[in-house]
């Protein structure tokens, strides 16, 4: 149904988007370094599940509502920003010692961090709304099905990039475990980065 060249162009664009530093990348790296590559992979799974929601919303047109109603955009943005600040603040206050598995509640588990940070990031929703239509050809028919296929391709390609990021974080963990003080400082740095991202997201205006 969709031309292979179109799928290739969309895949490359989506993978480039996944490489841009943001809440998802920071959550993957921090969990992979603090808990191991497997924890980073759980963040990737959470992100993928949240992306399914974004794809469904874009396919059904719900994302258009989010873009059209500033108050809805702001509400989602503030919730997501508050969550990022909370996670980052916990890392700043309580960095764990090298080799000790950090405790995680249901809301701060690796999966939850990936799912919630992505789900409450309105920029991800707007990305699907702005990008998907550019690759849909009405002449081929079934635009909703085309959007669904492109959405699934987006999730698959983005997850592939994210898993590479988790693997990189897991490798970095092996080096940091030999340097306990640096290991804790990394967590505090990552926590500060999440707090900063949360504040940045909260202060940004909807476009």
- Three-state secondary-structure class, residue 90: helix
The range of the structural domain enclosing residue 192 comes to 4-203
The region of weakest confidence among 95-109, 123-137, 183-197 is 95-109
Contact call for residues 125 and 66 (beta carbons, < 8 A): yes
Q: What is the mean pLDDT of the chain?
A: 79
* Segment 180-186 long-range contacts (CB within 8 Å, at least 24 positions apart): 180/97, 180/98, 183/33, 183/97, 183/98, 184/95, 184/96, 184/97, 184/98, 185/95, 186/33
Would you say the C-alpha torsion 66, 72, 74, 78 has a positive or negative sign?
negative
The pLDDT of residue 47 is above 90: yes
The rounded distance, in Å, linking the Cα atoms of 184 and 98 is 7
* Per-residue tokens: 13: 């664009």
Question: For position 176, what pLDDT does the model report?
Answer: 76
The region of weakest confidence among 57-61, 92-96, 102-106, 178-182 is 102-106
- Pick 31 or 97 by higher pLDDT: 31
Q: Based on the structure, what is the number of domains in the chain?
A: 1
Helix-then-strand count for the chain, H and E: 9, 0
pLDDT tens-digit profile of 118-177? 888 877 877 777 777 778 777 777 777 888 888 899 999 999 999 999 999 998 888 877
Question: For position 206, what pLDDT does the model report?
Answer: 46
Q: Give the pLDDT band of residue 184 (cuts 50, 70, 90).
A: confident
- Pick 30 or 47 by higher pLDDT: 47
């Amino acid at each position: 149904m969709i031309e292979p060249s179109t799928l290739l162009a969309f895949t490359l664009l989506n993978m480039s988007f996944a490489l841009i530093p943001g809440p998802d990348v920071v959550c993957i790296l921090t969990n992979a370094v603090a808990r191991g590559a497997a924890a980073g992979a759980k963040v990737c799974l959470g992100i993928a599940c949240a992306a399914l929601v974004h794809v469904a919303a874009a396919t059904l047109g719900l994302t258009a509502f989010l873009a059209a109603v500033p108050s809805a955009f702001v509400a989602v943005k503030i919730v997501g920003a508050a969550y990022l600040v909370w996670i980052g603040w916990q890392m700043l206050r309580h960095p764990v010692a090298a080799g000790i598995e950090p405790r995680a509640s249901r809301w701060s588990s690796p999966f939850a961090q990936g799912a919630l940070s992505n789900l409450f990031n309105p920029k991800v929703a707007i990305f699907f709304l702005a990008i998907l239509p550019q690759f849909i050809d009405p002449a081929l028919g079934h635009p909703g099905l085309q959007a669904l296929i492109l959405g699934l391709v987006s999730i698959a390609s983005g997850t592939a990039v994210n898993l590479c990021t988790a693997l990189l974080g897991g490798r970095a963990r092996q080096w940091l475990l030999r340097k306990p003080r640096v290991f804790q400082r990394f967590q505090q740095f990552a926590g500060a980065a999440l707090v900063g991202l949360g504040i940045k997201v909260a202060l940004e205006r909807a476009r």
